[in-house]
């Protein structure tokens, strides 16, 4: 259901872009589609970032509460600590689960987006009709199309993106399904095996290439493009990895982790540092092996999220400032109301008057010899 929803959005965007241009239509549609989907996910991002920032500001109060009940393991103390912690959450209108809940909600959405972009022709009506027309012409031109397709796949195996789609279709796979997943190399091999198809499909191939090319054929993987001699395709995984790294840096700077007591490490911060290195490498590798159209979505998504992250940070700063002001006021009041410790006065017993007078008198000179 979610996949069909996003597929309908992509189809509408594609049709809108096609009214403006029939060149690079799929690439432009993917970029616009990325902008739309990121806007739809903005409320979740705002909620997540707001919770994270407020939690970092309230962390000293939470640590003080934990210290208050440190070492108290009895049931009553545990219940009191839980109640006071809940009161603290309610006071600042925060939900500790709100930071991760948006991420959990986004997972099925992101999976649906991936399913849509893995095979755009399943959702874009114009592309589906184009491949159906090509399948009809091929079947009317050659009688052993199934055998030829099998030979092509044996010589040039389907890439991982295409194989996933064909596995999904299963026994109901059609010639149109194969054609929509064919890479540039597979199309060239098909034409070489059946030369007359170059004339039969000339108009349709021109239309297909115009729609699907956006610097590169978006159906091909960068690995396939590099293997065919197009070394420029290396830029795709590089951009995917670099944009992921920059976005991670911006996100980490904007979402500062709560400060831990002196001498303690923040496990969340350490995890972010590791992910900041691992994720760009993973995205670069994955982008090298999947369809370029899917990699384009990730690159465009990272660039859009960079701008979105800065905008959302400004949007939530007002609420965070209110919490900070409230915290400062409460700390000032607590400091003012804190009872001052009275200094103990050291009292000395009064000396007898005569002794005091004698102490103040100058010492007598030593008696001269012969004096009594």
Phi, then psi, of 214 in degrees rounded to 5: -145, 80
Q: What sign results for the dihedral spanned by CA atoms 151, 289, 301, 50?
A: positive
Q: What sign results for the dihedral spanned by CA atoms 147, 150, 155, 158?
A: positive
Six-digit token pair at 56?
Answer: 């970092």
Contact in structure between 258 and 266 (CB atoms under 8 Å): yes
The pTM (predicted TM-score) of the whole model is: 0.75
pLDDT along the chain (372 residues), means of 10: 87 95 93 90 79 77 83 84 84 70 70 81 93 94 89 88 76 85 92 94 94 92 92 96 91 64 59 81 92 92 90 79 76 72 55 53 50 46
Strand partners, 214: 216
Strand partners, 217: 213
For residue 278, the number of C-alpha atoms closer than 13 Å in the C-beta half-sphere is: 6
* Interatomic CA distance for residues 141 and 136, integer angstroms: 9
Domain residues of the chain, as ranges?
A: 126-211
What DSSP line would sit under 58-121, residue for residue? HHHHHHHHHHHTTT--SHHHHHHHHHHHHHHHHHTT--GGGGTHHHHHHHHHHHHHHHHHH-GG
Contact in structure between 256 and 268 (CB atoms under 8 Å): no
* Interatomic CA distance for residues 363 and 41, integer angstroms: 95
């Amino acid at each position: 259901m979610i996949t069909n929803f996003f597929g309908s959005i992509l189809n509408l965007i594609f049709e809108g872009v096609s009214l403006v241009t029939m060149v690079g239509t799929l690439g432009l549609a993917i970029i616009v589609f990325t902008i739309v989907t990121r806007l739809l996910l903005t409320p979740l991002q705002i909620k997540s970032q707001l919770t994270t920032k407020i939690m970092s500001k309230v962390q000293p109060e939470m640590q003080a509460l934990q210290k208050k009940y440190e070492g108290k393991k009895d049931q009553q103390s545990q219940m009191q600590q839980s109640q006071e912690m809940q009161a603290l959450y309610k006071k600042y209108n925060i939900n500790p689960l709100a930071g991760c809940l948006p991420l959990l909600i986004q997972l099925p959405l992101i999976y649906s987006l991936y399913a849509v972009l893995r095979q755009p022709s399943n959702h874009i009506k114009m592309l589906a009709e184009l491949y159906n027309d090509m399948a009809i012409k091929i079947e009317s031109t050659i009688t052993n199309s199934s055998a030829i397709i099998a030979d092509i796949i044996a010589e040039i195996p389907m890439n991982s993106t295409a194989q996933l789609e064909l596995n999904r279709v299963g026994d109901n796979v059609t010639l149109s399904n194969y054609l929509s997943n064919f890479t540039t190399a597979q199309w060239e091999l098909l034409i070489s095996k059946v030369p007359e198809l170059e004339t039969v499909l000339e108009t349709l191939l021109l239309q297909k290439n115009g729609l699907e090319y956006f610097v590169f054929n978006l159906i091909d993987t960068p690995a396939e493009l590099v293997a065919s001699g197009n070394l420029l395709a290396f830029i795709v995984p590089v951009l995917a990895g670099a944009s992921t790294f920059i976005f991670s840096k911006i996100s980490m700077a904007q979402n500062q982790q709560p400060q831990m007591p002196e001498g303690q490490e923040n496990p969340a911060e350490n995890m972010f540092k590791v992910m900041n290195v691992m994720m760009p490498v993973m995205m670069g590798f994955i982008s090298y092996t999947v369809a370029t159209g899917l990699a384009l979505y990730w690159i465009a998504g990272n660039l859009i999220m960079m701008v979105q992250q800065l905008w959302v940070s400004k949007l939530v700063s007002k609420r965070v400032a209110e919490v900070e002001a409230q915290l400062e006021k409460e700390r000032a009041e607590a400091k003012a109301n804190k009872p001052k410790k009275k200094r103990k006065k050291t009292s000395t017993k009064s000396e007898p008057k005569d002794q005091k007078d004698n102490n103040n008198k100058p010492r007598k000179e030593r008696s001269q010899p012969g004096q009594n």
